[in-house]
Amino acid sequence: MVRQCGGLSTPHPPESWQRNVWALALCVFIAFVGFQFFSPFLPLYIRELGVTDPSAIALWSGLLAAVTPAVSGLLSPVFGRLADRFGRKMMLIRSLAGFTVIIAAMGMVTSVRQLFVARLLMGLFAGFTPMAIAVASVSAPRNKASVAIARVQGAQLLSVAVGPAVGGIVASRLGFRPAFFVTAGMCVIALVALIFLFQEARAPEAGERRAARRSTPLREFLRYPHFMSVMSLLLIAQFVDRGLSLLIPLQVAHMPGVEAAATSGLIIAVAAVGATISASAVARLSQFIPAGQLLLVQLVVGGAFCAAMAFAENRVPLLVLRTVVALCLGGALTLAYTVGGLIVPAETRGAAFGWLALGVQLGTAASPLLNGWIAAWSLPGAYVLNGALAWVGAALLMFASRDLVTRRQSAR
């Protein structure tokens, strides 16, 4: 078997890509379990920092949730370019090392403004997941790229089922500040695992670095058909996923006789498991059925059930519908990334995924702000918005990028 890395062909045993992808999945899982130790509890930490007005807490929560992915999204093309020039493993190490220091500092801030600055600085080192997905994509044979992507994304999704519950115990027993230090420690563990378990063939040479510089500008990738369509599909998939994570607790809070925190946590955890199953299933199916065709079906069916969540009046229908939506849309990001990997050559995939990650980060930043604003006026309207966006993605595939629906993966 011959595997390309940074534009060069390097022989590897057939099993080497499996080891690398599993190593990446392990690192992502460890790091994201740590992230879930503090992310769901940021509003409570804001209150502990002295902000008591509910509207101010909501405003700061939205800003803190948006600033890191916004900065990361703007810098994603730069991260992709650096990865193609100096090696993707080094960029992952840079990201985890930066997270370790900044997250530990977040546990020592004394004001919400200091916390905002820390979250802004965190954006300078973010982009860890898109880069890990890019690395997984180029580590595997082309016809196995969807499987590699699904493993990494599945590790991130599964962390949502584990992290909040464990993080809630840590925060309730030790306090919010120690939760940040635990997260920093888990980033260190993920960093050590990455260094020793993941084996990159070698760093790119001078000629490859020059090629990476030439291929980095967005205009170079716009010559590939449907590049902007794939970026838009990634934005939509991430927007919907992040939006539902915000809307579930808001909807549960309005249900009488329901313990909001426990019920929300259960629904989010079950949905995370469903999304993990979905990502793994569609990755395997995409080896036989075009990924674009699977994505089209997921967006059409998932959009309908997403809009139906607006009418769930108690926890059982909400749990069932959220699980169905997770099974329908949980593989959307995996499929969109898989389609993106089919339209660019392997030697520039790091830079290409850097630009594609801009769509993911924009969705991550915009979703809590827009969904929160709409939900303040109409919670059902927010669900309908997300369902409609899924249908917009389906229309984009069906009418603007129709040949993506039939394009198949091929062996590298």
Burial class (CB in 10 A: 0-12, 13-18, 19+), 142: middle
Domain contains 3: no
pLDDT band, very low/low/confident/very high, at 379 (cuts 50, 70, 90): confident
Confidence of residue 323 (pLDDT cuts 50, 70, 90): very high
CB contact set of 389 (below 8 Å; sequence gap of 6+): 236, 239, 240, 303
**Range of 260's domain?**
15-405
pLDDT at 23 over 80: yes
335 has pLDDT over 70? yes
* Weakest mean pLDDT among 109-118, 185-194, 215-224: 215-224
For residue 343, is pLDDT > 70?
A: yes
55-76: average pLDDT? 79
Q: What is the mean pLDDT of the chain?
A: 81
Indicate whether 410 belongs to any domain: no
DSSP 229-283: HHHHHHHHHHHHHHHHHHHHHHHHHTSTT--HHHHHHHHHHHHHHHHHHHHHHHH
What pLDDT shows up at residue 294? 93
Picking from 226, 227, 297, 312, the residue whose alpha carbon sits closest to that of residue 267 is: 312
Query: Quick one: what percent of the chain has pLDDT higher than 90?
Result: 27
226-243: average pLDDT? 90
Give the three-state DSSP class for 108: coil
Does the pLDDT at position 235 exceed 70?
yes
> In 108-144, which ranges are continuous DSSP H helix?
112-123, 128-139
Is the confidence at residue 265, as pLDDT, over 80?
Answer: no
| Residue 327 tokens, joined | 């099974």
Does residue 8 have a pLDDT over 50? no
- Say which DSSP state 180 is in: H
- pLDDT given at position 217: 64
In a domain, 6, yes or no: no
pLDDT digits (tens, 9 = 90+) for 149-168: 888 888 888 887 787 767 76
**Is 2 among the domain residues?**
no
Return the pLDDT at 215: 46
- Band (pLDDT 50/70/90 cuts) for residue 347 is low
5 within domain boundaries: no
* Mean local confidence (pLDDT), 173-200: 88
Model confidence, pTM:
0.73
Task: Find the CATH number of the domain harbouring 81.
Answer: 1.20.1250.20
Which of the two residues, 393 and 262, has the higher pLDDT score? 393
What is the sign, positive or negative, of the torsion defined by CA atoms of 158, 298, 385, 64?
positive
Q: Mean per-residue pLDDT for 231-240? A: 92
Query: Mean pLDDT: which of 68-77, 159-168, 306-315 is highest?
Result: 306-315
Domain contains 4: no
The position carrying tokens 């500092």 is: 105
Torsion-angle region of residue 314: left (phi > 0), alpha (psi -120 to 50) or beta? beta
Q: Tell me what pLDDT residue 84 has.
A: 67
Q: Is 202's pLDDT higher than 50?
A: no
Task: Output 219 or 133, whichever has higher pLDDT.
Answer: 133
Is the confidence at residue 227, as pLDDT, over 50? yes
- What is the spatial distance between Cα 198 and Cα 24, in angstroms, rounded to a whole number? 7
**Residue 28 placed within a domain:** yes
Q: Tell me the pLDDT band of 110, cut-offs 50, 70 and 90.
A: very high
pLDDT band at 73 (very low <50, low <70, confident <90, very high): confident
Condensed to tens digits (0 to 9), the pLDDT of residues 127-151 reads: 787 778 778 877 777 777 778 888 8
Whole-angstrom distance, CA of residue 143 vs CA of residue 129: 21
Residue 299: how many CB atoms within 10 A of its CB?
Answer: 31
* Count of domains observed in the chain: 1
Residue 403's pLDDT band (cuts 50, 70, 90):
confident
Q: What is the pLDDT of residue 212?
A: 47
> Per mean pLDDT, which range of 27-41, 174-188, 248-262, 269-283 is the poorest?
248-262
Is the pLDDT at 287 greater than 70? The verdict is yes
